Structure 1
Amino acid sequence: MTAVVSNSTEYLLGQSLSSRDDDNHNIYTNLLYLDTSSPGFNDPITFPKDPKERENLLELPGNRKVLIAQPAVVTDVGDNIRHYTLDCHGFQYVNHTTKCSKEMFLDETMIKASYYPEVDQLIKDVTGASYVHLFDYAARGPLNGDDGDPKINRPVKSVHCDQSYEGAKRVVMSRLPDKAFAEEVVENRRFQIMNIWRPLEPIYKDPFAVTDARSIPDSDLVALPVIAGDYTEESWAAEPNSAHRWYFKFAQKPDEVLMFKCFDLVRKRMSPVEYFMLRLRTGLKSICPHDKALRSELVWFTVNSSSNQIHDRYL
């Protein structure tokens, strides 16, 4: 899971990375979790299609959630960056240089024409996926960004994961145009839903934080319905737990791409007719204070992904 922390709120992550250990860049902060004791905590979250209706998202029924601040330490992966892998921790930093300019990330046509093919190949190289379908893109600016720029979305401040177990299946069924193939994927294939985050400038404020998936028990997860335009989906929020282990990359540069899983369904054949199904996720995500750099977010799912064997050129 991931989350965002702002230096413009009382829930401060590092105060522009200044509140940290003398010998490292670990951040001490409060992360925002869902308060499940509040009325309507699991009411649907709504993202209307009409841009005018999206101008006041927090005023829509179900969108204003009551949150709890949980003290947390967010660990800088630092010199141990190669230690963290998709298959073990649910996230991984890889070296990848894009041919796209910063300005291109605000042009959807150029993104799909130039950046999508780069990411498609990156995913296949890193995961061994036989099929990749990219289905969403967003450019995100700082928490105190320009409200008037419709191309830049504010980060989501609360701890969350984009897809629940059920939500992952809905994404496959709704985004793949070939419904027969979509059903085959959901019923019989291993598939993953991932995010890739690339900063467009080095990040010294509002860094993106992720959890070690192994530190999040299912009992901490709360399913939230999401109505996004024509789609009805489901995401995870989370209840606070001091055992969640959080990580980020200090001064993350544009060629240091963060890949993390939202969902991974692994089927292991136990007998000719039985399968053991293992569901993995990256648990929670959040954001720590970040300067005026955009983050590009790309979401995809992969089919028939093998065990993670990252190529040397990405380390």
Structure 2
Amino acid sequence: MPKHQKSLTVGKAAKIPAKHVEADLMFWRHPTVDDDVNCQSKNNTESITNEQQTLNGAHRVTVQDIRGQESAFTLDRNGFTYVNHEIAELNQVYSPQCMKEIIIPKTEQLVRDMSVDPQSTSTNNSELNRSRTGASRTITFVDRVRCFATDTAQLANNRSPAHSVHSDFSIAGALHQLSTRMPEECRLLTSRVLIINVWRPLKTIQRDPLAVCDWRTVEMKDRITSRIALPSGWTELGRYAFNPRQNWCYLSGQRPNEPLVFTQFDSHRIDEGGFTVPHTAFVDPLYTGFPARESLEIKMFAFV
């Protein structure tokens, strides 16, 4: 058995190999006053390239395969979880009507169903009980199909896997999204608001799997904010510096019925950094020549 594999036992089932991967993840460093690259424009490709060259740096890390240990990772403790959830209409993901009327509503229902009482004696929701949002209302504001793209237009539209460590929003970026899209809720902010990303393969993942960082191993000093100027305004996301304490995880051979649910903001955990979980696509050397990855991500506000 290769060094990067370790047997895991799943209940009483036979042992299966956990495929841990030694991968080069692209991290960022804190900008200096001379860098002048902490704000980028989507209209200036050259400045984006220069920023990547200035801030990116590869670090070899062990990405832990949690196949067989999925129940050990919960949304509230680790910031992410994998659940079993089937959508029969997933093959119609490129149909705007199907996306709007079936796929998004079913995904929102998944997140709301994660509000079941974890102390419940019911066995019907055992898969969801271990990670709950407590959400009574969900509103999707982004849905995106990602696939590998060399075309610069597709890259500019964020349609290819993102190969750098990031979170979709900083705290300021998340609050700006909320105030822009739902100004009344942001003004009142009387209830807990989360931003949840549900990331689902459209085919079994081999090439460019997605790694997520256990939030308990992220330190405040690791975070770097990056504001992006857009034609319609601005957004601010999180970049992350390398820290050997970080624990990176993924699910080998992730299937379409095994969505990753992870937190990108929690208004009740701002003092802890906002629960903006870092994530990144990474290269598994065993699968570099395999077909391009296809995945669907749906981001939503979840009101508790």
TM range (shorter): 0.7 to 0.9
SS in 2 for 1:259: strand
1:166 Cα shift? 1.1
CA distance in 2: counterparts of 1:222 and 1:80, whole angstroms: 31
Identity, % of aligned pairs?
25
CA distance in 2: counterparts of 1:112 and 1:259, whole angstroms: 19
Higher helix share: 2
Change in CA separation of 1:279 and 1:140 when aligned onto 2, cut-off 3 Å = same
> Which string of whole-angstrom CA distances, capped at 9 and with x for unpartnered residues, describes residues 230-269 of structure 1?
13121110111111110000000000000000111227xx
Does the 8 Å contact 1:192/1:264 carry over to 2? yes
Instruction: Give the paired residue count.
Output: 264
1:74 to 39, 48, 63: 63
Gapped regions of structure 2 (runs ≥ 5): 8-17, 115-132
CA distance in 1: counterparts of 2:258 and 2:61, whole angstroms: 24
- Alignment-mate amino acid for residue 65 of structure 2: D
1:106 Cα shift? 2.4
Gapped regions of structure 1 (runs ≥ 5): 1-17, 49-56, 268-275, 305-315
Does the 8 Å contact 1:174/1:231 carry over to 2? no
1:148 Cα shift? 8.1
1:160 Cα shift? 0.4
Choose between structure 1 and 2 for higher RCO, CA contacts under 8 A separated by at least 6 residues. 1
Do residues 198 (structure 1) and 200 (structure 2) align? Answer: yes
Change in CA separation of 1:233 and 1:116 when aligned onto 2, cut-off 3 Å = same
1:68 Cα shift? 0.9
C-alpha RMSD of matched pairs (Å): 2.5
State TM-score, norm by structure 1: 0.76
SS in 2 for 1:79: coil
1:149 Cα shift? 8.4
Change in CA separation of 1:152 and 1:82 when aligned onto 2, cut-off 3 Å = same
Change in CA separation of 1:77 and 1:282 when aligned onto 2, cut-off 3 Å = farther
> Which string of whole-angstrom CA distances, capped at 9 and with x for unpartnered residues, describes residues 154-206 of structure 1?
11111001111111111101122xx2233112xx2211111111101111121
Do residues 83 (structure 1) and 67 (structure 2) align? Answer: no
Does the 8 Å contact 1:19/1:28 carry over to 2? no
SS in 2 for 1:299: strand
2:38 to 43, 52, 60: 43
Look up the match of 1:27: 21
SS in 1 for 2:167: coil
CA distance in 2: counterparts of 1:63 and 1:114, whole angstroms: 41
SS in 2 for 1:100: helix
1:123 Cα shift? 0.8
Does the 8 Å contact 2:178/2:185 carry over to 1? no
1:256 to 258, 273, 297: 258
CA distance in 2: counterparts of 1:293 and 1:278, whole angstroms: 33
Change in CA separation of 1:210 and 1:264 when aligned onto 2, cut-off 3 Å = same
Do residues 182 (structure 1) and 182 (structure 2) align? Answer: no
Look up the match of 1:171: 177
- Alignment-mate amino acid for residue 67 of structure 2: G
Does the 8 Å contact 1:45/1:227 carry over to 2? yes
Do residues 99 (structure 1) and 101 (structure 2) align? Answer: no
State TM-score, norm by structure 2: 0.79
CA distance in 2: counterparts of 1:192 and 1:87, whole angstroms: 11
- Alignment-mate amino acid for residue 301 of structure 2: F
Change in CA separation of 1:84 and 1:70 when aligned onto 2, cut-off 3 Å = same
> Which string of whole-angstrom CA distances, capped at 9 and with x for unpartnered residues, describes residues 200-244 of structure 1?
111112110000011111111011102234131211101111111
CA distance in 1: counterparts of 2:31 and 2:187, whole angstroms: 37
- Alignment-mate amino acid for residue 21 of structure 2: I
1:284 to 273, 278, 284: 278
Look up the match of 1:153: 159
